[in-house]
Structure 1
Amino acid sequence: MNMLQRVAEFKGKQALYFQQSSEILTAMRNVAVIQSIESSNRIEKIVVTSKRLTDIVNGHVEPADRSESEIAGYRDVLKTIHGSSDHMPIISNIILQMHRYLLQYATGSGGKYKMSDNDITEELPTGEKIIRFKPVSAFETNEAMHNLVLGFRKRREEGIYPELLLVAIFVLDFLSIHPFSDGNGRMARLLTLLLLYQAGYEVGRYVSLEKCIEDTKDQYYAALQKSSVGWHEETNDVRPWVEYFLTTLIEAHRRFEQRMGGLDRTKGWKSRQVETVIQHLMGDFSLAELIDRCPGITGPTIRQVLDRMSKKGLIMAITKGRNARWRKIEQEEF
């Protein structure tokens, strides 16, 4: 209950923060979008370069391969949630529609529940794969999803249980059903964001929840494993998963307050924002890419940051001139 109260306290402060500088909030929102798309896909080993990611997210290029197609699909669903969460009731048709958009560029086969059974497996250090959990069978999936959605909506309307608790358990049950042949993890994270928005928790617009999960993915899988034992028999202990879920939300709010507090009250927030963006980039990057990811921050300011970080040995220029590209020196932390 203490963790629920802490998250509720953060929720109560939201309105105060949202009255702060729109320039800062816009910058945070744009960075969060990039990080969310990048992290949620990277958890599933879907990786593209920072430049291609930025170009795809901004709609400057079309996806050129399977990984980029997965990125584009996630971008579209995330955009829909950010813009239309109040008009997306938790029903099977909406979930199927989200899945169809998620895979529309990659396979075009989304929007329907699995046709064959699937297992949740784990690869051991030896390379051997073991079955970690057997989800609901394909035959039972449609009914299981119907019951999941119906039960969630009913309990939310009753108002007996804290809505955050209902959201956490919904996500756990969704992952245990594993209703799709592909994209279950990403769908779970998108549904988490949608349900949190509908419950009035807006932090995911400004701090990437997916990045928080990626940063603690070992704990994520461990909590999921513990809370899925006995799930089919309805004897599972939801506490490990709920604790992880709430801890992640608390961490997201902590990051939000830290960035808003420091950025809003002290000088140099633009430089720190550029440094934060660079810290999360993969591969080489250019000034133009940083400008795309740092709205409201001018090119000269970004150049000053690049020059300062270069002198500190944190980054290095690998090409020079008008189209100069830079690279992080990974051994260093900043």
Structure 2
Amino acid sequence: MTENHIRQLHRDLLRRSGKGERHRGAWNTSANSIAAFDETGQQIGIVFETASPFDTPARMTGLVDWYNAARADGTLHPLLLIGIFVVVLLEIHPFQDGNGRLSRALTTLLLVRAGYAYVPYASLESLIKKSKEACYLALLRQMRRLRDKVERERLMMGSLPEVSAKLLDFVRDHGRLTIGDAERLTGENRNTLKLHFRALVGDGHFVLNGAGRGAWYSLG
């Protein structure tokens, strides 16, 4: 996989698209964030910010280098590797137009190269085009929900004791926590930690799993 290969594939995909010739196979040269519009065509918000034109070349170099290195050392399953590559490509959004089409073509190509005999029986392009506005609106609503949730959690974390906040952060990152882990993490004594765990369970932040020495805590 090379950057030239990606640009050439993009150029070929857009050959009959009616878009300006200068956009085909060339990295984006203007802001290209994904916006949502209402039924009147009025922009109502940015779904997500893409890489700036200044950052795009370096971001694409980094992505291609990472993919080739990860593919060579085999530390990631091919399906995970391809999935991560495509998601980051879309997050960068390196071209003015045709990023979605390119991502689907690259997905098929990389799956075939990885040994998966995958051939789509029908194109999703027409369905995606017809539903594009609804998809963007749904993404925008979800973005707002997540933003509100993050803000609520930020306020909630600010009201917790420092030790409790640290325990909650650890469980969010690792999925589970025992009292023994908490002792090593915080340096607090076991009885103090039991009080914090009891309060976190009582407030619905944690769930106690098991009993005795095998007990552990997960998110509520």
- Please indicate the TM-score interval, normalised by the length of the shorter structure: 0.5 to 0.7
Aligned match of 1:118: 32
Contact 2:46–2:140 (CA under 8 A) maintained in structure 1: no
Give me the whole-angstrom Cα distance separating, in 1, the residues matched to 2:27 and 2:2.
14
| 1:176 partnered with 2:91 | yes
Amino acid at match of 1:147: G
TM-score (norm 2): 0.54
Amino acid at match of 1:112: A
Aligned match of 2:21: 108
For the residue of structure 2 that corresponds to 1:139, the secondary structure is coil
TM-score (norm 1): 0.37
For the residue of structure 1 that corresponds to 2:46, the secondary structure is strand
Gaps of 5+ in 2: 148-220
Amino acid at match of 1:111: G
| 1:97 partnered with 2:5 | no
Give me the whole-angstrom Cα distance separating, in 1, the residues matched to 2:89 and 2:9.
14
CA shift at 1:99, angstroms?
A: 1.4
Could you say which structure has the larger radius of gyration? 2
Aligned match of 1:136: 51
Q: CA, structure 1 residues 162+137, in 2 after alignment: closer, same or farther (shift >3 Å)?
A: same
Q: CA, structure 1 residues 169+224, in 2 after alignment: closer, same or farther (shift >3 Å)?
A: farther
Gaps of 5+ in 1: 1-89, 231-334
Q: Deviations over 1:75-105 (max 9, x none)?
A: xxxxxxxxxxxxxxx1100001111212234
Consecutive aligned runs of 4 or more in structure 1 exceeding 3 Å deviation: 208-215, 217-227
Give me the whole-angstrom Cα distance separating, in 2, the residues matched to 1:226 and 1:157.
37
Give me the whole-angstrom Cα distance separating, in 2, the residues matched to 1:203 and 1:100.
23
CA shift at 1:198, angstroms?
A: 0.8
Give me the whole-angstrom Cα distance separating, in 2, the residues matched to 1:120 and 1:161.
30
Give me the whole-angstrom Cα distance separating, in 2, the residues matched to 1:194 and 1:173.
17
Contact 1:172–1:224 (CA under 8 A) maintained in structure 2: no
Higher relative CO (Cα under 8 Å, sequence separation at least 6) belongs to 1
Q: Deviations over 1:190-210 (max 9, x none)?
A: 111111111111222x52363
| 1:145 partnered with 2:60 | yes
Aligned match of 2:122: 208
Aligned match of 1:158: 73
Contact 1:118–1:181 (CA under 8 A) maintained in structure 2: yes
User: How many pairs were matched up?
Assistant: 139
Amino acid at match of 2:42: E
2:114 to 183, 199, 212: 199
Contact 2:28–2:94 (CA under 8 A) maintained in structure 1: yes
| 1:185 partnered with 2:100 | yes
Contact 2:36–2:140 (CA under 8 A) maintained in structure 1: no
CA shift at 1:180, angstroms?
A: 0.5
Aligned match of 2:161: none
Q: Deviations over 1:203-252 (max 9, x none)?
A: 22x5236379849x78986689979x89xxxxxxxxxxxxxxxxxxxxxx
Amino acid at match of 1:170: F
Amino acid at match of 2:21: G
Amino acid at match of 2:10: H
CA RMSD between the two structures: 3.3
Q: CA, structure 1 residues 176+203, in 2 after alignment: closer, same or farther (shift >3 Å)?
A: same
Contact 1:152–1:170 (CA under 8 A) maintained in structure 2: yes
Query: Share of identical aligned residues, percent?
Result: 37
Amino acid at match of 2:5: I
Give me the whole-angstrom Cα distance separating, in 2, the residues matched to 1:111 and 1:94.
9
